[in-house]
Amino acid sequence: MRKLLIVIFTCLLFVSCATTKKATNSIENSRFFHAPSLKTSQIEIIENQELRDLFDEFNELYFEGSLIVDYIGYVDGCLLRGKGKTYNYVGYAFWEWHADACRYGIAMAKKSDSNGINISENYFNGVLLHEMTHLYFYQKGMYHENHGKNFREMIDKLHEMNPEYEKIYD
């Protein structure tokens, strides 16, 4: 009986360690960002290589590789709901100061998720370019540009470069 209990305890300890290690690994590649205009006060972005690759491709094509994103990933679309609004955003760009460094992030709703969100490829790409344009202005120190004149002019310029993607101003 004692041997059986030792075997069971050892197995439980092994499973516990394996589960903890897996949880630790998934947290290492995520970051919480303050989200002042969303209904949630913070949003966790878990890195996504597919989305980062698309960001890198668009960064080279449209921004001469000048943009920096520290965290980019998919989030549940319901987390991207605006305060006092009934619609969900498809993407959201973040910037935060920590010590003497600024960190940048982009959260995107999955093209199709359990909340009934179904986004076309051209619209999704237009939203990603929209969020990258926010990063462009953030990284130029124009934190309050939002969707103003300069922002709209940049969106127009990007749309001229590739009219296949939808032009997203807001």
Write out pLDDT tens, residues 112-141.
765 566 778 888 899 999 999 999 998 998
Cα 79 to Cα 30, 44, 117, 149, distances in angstroms? 16, 10, 12, 28
Q: What is the pLDDT along the chain (170 residues), one digit of tens a residue?
A: 655 544 454 444 344 333 332 322 233 466 676 666 676 777 777 888 999 999 999 999 999 999 999 889 888 777 776 666 655 678 888 888 777 788 888 988 887 765 566 778 888 899 999 999 999 998 998 878 889 999 999 999 999 998 999 898 88
Give me the pLDDT at residue 85, please: 60
Strand (E) positions, the chain?
30-34, 42-46, 71-75, 91-98, 101-109
Query: What per-residue confidence (pLDDT) applies to 1?
Result: 60
CB 165 within 8 A of CB 126: yes
Tell me, what's the pLDDT at 156? 96
Residues 6+ apart with CB under 8 A from 113: 76, 77
